[in-house]
Structure 1
Amino acid sequence: MQKKLIKVHPSDNIIVALVDIEQGETIAFEEKEIITATAVKAKHKIAEVDFAIGDSIYMYGVLIGKASQPIQKGEVITTSNVKHQSGKVSHKTETTSWNPPNVDKWKDRTFMGYHRSDGQVGTANVWLFFPLVFCENKNIERLKEVFEELVPKKTDAYKQLLRSLISNNPETSLENERVEKPTFDNIEVKFITHQGGCGGIRQDSESLARLLAGYVNNPNVAGATVLSLGCQNLQIELFQKTLKAINPNLNKEVIIYEQQQMGTVDHMLQTIIKDSYEAIKRANQIERKPAPLSKLCVGLECGGSDGFSGISANPALGHVSDVLAALGGKSILAEFPELCGVEQELMNRCVTEEKANKFLSLMKAYEKSVVDAGSGFDMNPSPGNIKDGLITDAMKSAGAAKKGGTSPVVDVLDYGEYVTESGLNLLNTPGNDVESTTAMVGSGATIVLFTTGLGTPTGNPITPVIKVASNSILAQRMSDIIDIDTGAVIDGSKTIEEVGETILDYIIEVASGRIISKASQLNQDDFIPWKRGVSL
């Protein structure tokens, strides 16, 4: 019989409904009885004790809010009776110990990856087209139309469906899909466009330069074709300087074209097509070879979270992160607005006081910028989050932080900085799904694990994104975008560690090219840089 209630941490004073519960139902819980004062939907929280106005409310062992009105034991916690509140932090107070998981079964496992001359190993082999400035987006889009001749194509089933409706021929359906054979076996061709590179403050262009340089340096990229207009803020020299700063010994083909120096669009596009085709042919000669799991760099992301995300999917990712840390691999925990309330724990896990101080400094500066804009971290939970039980930012953050497991924080990076240390890295990004995923890949993530409780199609142009559902209902309802179901943790049939090991097995298959993630199958190539400044 499935449990109806769960307490996440021994010091919590609210408990989570695992199923829908009727008003007035009496439930035996931890040697006492809980009588529900109101009906409770699954994923939502109820008071374990009576709360007076101003009483502190704890979940995941941390402060997540304060009662804004009296709350009766057994009553549902809502945005009407609880307000966001998080613990205060000013410095690293202790050094936490870590007991790494046993990794004997993983230490000799390998994945089939693309080895680069700098020692990095990619899970994909991509030739990337992108502009330095938005003025070149049209030319990138034209090149995409041209180079689609090299990309495996599906028959457009939706166009077929429309034609069948127009012709009144119902025999044409979505089942008529077929895939043509790709031109090349070992290379993908991908395209990025964006709205930056000029018009904002110079710092925005410098930030974009770091992001784009990080994409080129990512081992999933074999080489790149780069378009410049010529007069923009993000000059070719700035991009090249930034790329060299990230990797002075980069040994990839990066071919750059400046439209204002080349004359007509026709001349430029013909030149680009000829040069890029030859470069793509050379990149296609690179083949997959075995690599240890220590060569993986995994981004940890959540989006469309629900009240189960911090109980099932996120802790399962945390176990994966801990295993990778024990193996010498890398993982990235980002979304700083969703670390609000767990700063003390993360600072204590930092390997040095300097890194702890950098984390706190970045958090404070980010929060100040949000307040100066007339908002606050307390505005972070979305309507979907709240509807599914995440009612304060601190509650959402405490669950989101579970993706980082328990291992030491080896480094703290600002947006655009590239990961170099093995273990868990913190990266300053927004909580926005695509902006955060975009940033983690720019910092070196070769796989992204993306948990969701509500469902999201988010993907990335160069890095496989593996979608992990927090509950089985979502996994079944949106099976076309979900790769892994962690609902077994909720019904009690599997442990977090067991589900985490299933995820790691799946990572190996995706990293080796034997399984294509759902986001990649859907060509979900999302790319949004974080614009931190104003426009001039």
Structure 2
Amino acid sequence: MLQSSKNYNGPLIRLNPNDNVLIAREPLTIGHQVALDGESVRLRAQVAAGHKVAARRIAAGEPIRKYDTVIGVAARDIEPGDHVHTHNITLVDFDRDPGFGLDVKPVDYVAPEQRATFRGIVRPDGRVATRNFIGIMASVNCSATVIRHIADYFTPERLRDYPNVDGVVAFAQTSGCGMSSPSEHFDVLRRTIAGYARHPNLGGVLIVGLGCERNQVGDLLDSQGLKTGKAVHALVMQNTGGTRATIEAGIEAVQAMLPVANDIVRTPVPVSHLKIGLECGGSDGFSGITANPALGAAMDLLVRHGGTAILSETPEIHGVEYMLTRRAVSPEVGQKLLDRLAWWERYTRGQNGQFNGVVGPGNQQGGLANIFEKSLGSAMKGGTTPLQAVYEYAEPIDRAGFVFMDSPGYDPVAVTGQIASGANLICFTTGRGSMFGSKPAPTLKLASNTPMFTRLEEDMDINCGLVIDGERSIEEMGQDIFDLIVRAASGERTKSELLGLGDNEFVPWHMGIVS
């Protein structure tokens, strides 16, 4: 792993003494003289920042090691100073010993009376919120336009009398009918909607359906144990009188919930009430050097204070899953993670998807050659504490500490599942500059490098490129992130909130056929 005392003054970064590739700290031109293992070597290609350079001769078929981890094999002989990327790396799968529990270390928990606090919103049933929205859910795409019209009615001017309400937000979605039911896809959709309806960050909920869809509102409520009342309302368009009548009835229902939702105060509560969803997108060659390990350090702090860190994006641990199974608190927890990966192997068989090796164009441009290399950085977000549990997508998370929730790597889908599982804040690392926000749980965006942070500062919340710049260690950056999390959980607006993002990022996982 990256050492906090690394000196990044030179043009190339060595992450581990056993590595046979180095990382370009800055753009390097062909012919540039660099020191490789004590010898001056001329670069044989132009190399972009974050990309890899061969530290020595690598024979065809020889493993390529980064962080002393195999990320592929040389497709042909590679000479010192060569650019090492997709053109000369081949992804070769290999057996990995899961080593269940071998790296489990006891957590040095902070005493309850000494734990950090944030100013949270305590609901009557004891749940703790970081934001206070009223949410409108669509049981089916056919009611999506109606719920948006209801939400749009509640302009800042009309909410002026309710200063403690963060907004009225419509969670439209594109499924709910034309799908197999019963099915895993059907169950996931209902579980996701219910997870949002129960979320502590929603002070009131309105669920709107059409009436003839497969995902019937009444069955949805009954199957998920949701009951209508002061804080939960339901409407069915075909019973209410159509589009215009349902919009009017929905506005009336929200108006009735606003005074109750507004009647809250923020009070100091332990950060053990925080559940942080961990996400990365638009990654680059610096993500696994700065933002991801720094976020991991922050999550180690959070776990020590009794909080919960939720790692997801199952395709993006493919190839390094042993880093997590070795931290599993039991063989059963480790095996559940392997079972989810086996499911993904079946699910993606024959497809040109990320799980099978191909990362997105932005990842490749940023220096990541394949899914093993991306996974290596992605897994670092989870820190070093024991893996306490593994959950399915949108399954309620009932264990504190570091946990894993199965999801695709696609950012909106993964974050939707994390929020449905109970995440009340999201930390999103990016090297290319993802413009992402989420509701009702806000997103903090962590930039992996200073040039991108400077270019996109209006969207980025914190610059983890300071690690590469030599201004912060991983541990110091982790503390900075932890402090920012506490402030954001207490109500400080994130950059994505200031920009108004998050209304269109509710994207439940579509798993099955459309018929």
TM-score normalised over the length of structure 2:
0.92
Counterpart of 2:326 in 1: which secondary structure? helix
The aligned runs of 1:85-164 (5 Å cut-off) are: 85-89=92-96, 91-98=98-105, 100=107, 107-148=114-155
Counterpart of 1:371 in 2: which secondary structure? coil
**Which of 243, 255, 258 is equivalent to 1:265?**
243
Counterpart of 2:206 in 1: which secondary structure? strand
**Which of 435, 438, 444 is equivalent to 1:466?**
444
**Which of 205, 225, 243 is equivalent to 2:186?**
205
Q: Is the 8 A contact 2:109 2:306 kept in 1?
A: no
The aligned runs of 1:395-410 (5 Å cut-off) are: 395-410=373-388
Aligned to 2:478: 500
**Which of 25, 29, 34 is equivalent to 1:22?**
29
Counterpart of 2:246 in 1: which secondary structure? helix
Change (3 A) 1:95 1:221: same
**Which of 483, 497, 501 is equivalent to 1:524?**
501
Counterpart-to-counterpart distance in 2, 1:151 and 1:69: 66
Aligned to 2:278: 300
Q: Is the 8 A contact 2:36 2:55 kept in 1?
A: no
1:227 aligns with 2:204: no
Q: CA deviation at 1:136?
A: 0.4
**Which of 85, 94, 97 is equivalent to 1:78?**
85
Counterpart-to-counterpart distance in 2, 1:61 and 1:101: 27
Aligned to 2:174: 195
Counterpart-to-counterpart distance in 2, 1:504 and 1:306: 23
Q: Is the 8 A contact 1:131 1:227 kept in 2?
A: yes
Runs of 4+ in 1 over 6 A off after TM superposition: 248-252
Counterpart-to-counterpart distance in 1, 2:445 and 2:429: 6
Change (3 A) 1:9 1:250: farther
Counterpart-to-counterpart distance in 2, 1:242 and 1:383: 41
Aligned to 2:4: none
Counterpart-to-counterpart distance in 1, 2:158 and 2:494: 17
* 1:483-515, Cα deviation, whole Å (9 max, x unpaired): 1001110111210111111111111111111x2
The aligned runs of 1:386-401 (5 Å cut-off) are: 386-401=364-379
Q: CA deviation at 1:108?
A: 3.6
Q: CA deviation at 1:105?
A: 12
Most deviating of 270-279 and 33-42:
33-42
1:457 aligns with 2:435: yes
Change (3 A) 1:362 1:105: closer
Counterpart-to-counterpart distance in 2, 1:374 and 1:510: 38
Change (3 A) 1:34 1:299: farther
Change (3 A) 1:443 1:28: same
Counterpart-to-counterpart distance in 2, 1:314 and 1:385: 15
Q: Percent identity?
A: 33
1:54 aligns with 2:61: yes
Q: CA deviation at 1:33?
A: 4.7
**Which of 384, 389, 395 is equivalent to 2:362?**
384
Q: Is the 8 A contact 1:3 1:491 kept in 2?
A: no
Q: Is the 8 A contact 1:5 1:29 kept in 2?
A: no
Change (3 A) 1:60 1:217: farther
Counterpart-to-counterpart distance in 2, 1:510 and 1:372: 43
Letter in 2 for 1:535: V
Most deviating of 212-221 and 235-244:
235-244
Counterpart-to-counterpart distance in 1, 2:110 and 2:461: 24
Q: Is the 8 A contact 2:100 2:334 kept in 1?
A: no
Counterpart-to-counterpart distance in 1, 2:109 and 2:275: 20
Q: Is the 8 A contact 2:310 2:403 kept in 1?
A: yes
Q: CA deviation at 1:107?
A: 3.8
**Which of 367, 378, 402 is equivalent to 1:424?**
402
* 1:60-88, Cα deviation, whole Å (9 max, x unpaired): 23211111111112211021100223442
Change (3 A) 1:42 1:364: same
Q: Is the 8 A contact 2:221 2:227 kept in 1?
A: no
1:69 aligns with 2:76: yes
Counterpart of 2:348 in 1: which secondary structure? helix
Change (3 A) 1:12 1:383: same
**Which of 397, 409, 415 is equivalent to 1:437?**
415
Aligned to 1:328: 306
Q: CA deviation at 1:93?
A: 4.4
Counterpart-to-counterpart distance in 2, 1:103 and 1:29: 44
Instruction: Specify every segment of 5 or more residues in structure 2 that has no aligned partner in the other structure, as ranges.
Output: 1-7
Counterpart-to-counterpart distance in 2, 1:453 and 1:369: 28
Q: CA deviation at 1:305?
A: 0.8
Counterpart-to-counterpart distance in 2, 1:33 and 1:197: 63
Q: Is the 8 A contact 1:117 1:251 kept in 2?
A: no
Counterpart-to-counterpart distance in 2, 1:26 and 1:252: 71
Letter in 2 for 1:314: N
Counterpart of 2:143 in 1: which secondary structure? helix
Change (3 A) 1:252 1:394: farther
Q: Is the 8 A contact 2:315 2:354 kept in 1?
A: no
Q: CA deviation at 1:249?
A: 10
Counterpart-to-counterpart distance in 2, 1:534 and 1:500: 42
Most deviating of 271-280 and 457-466:
271-280
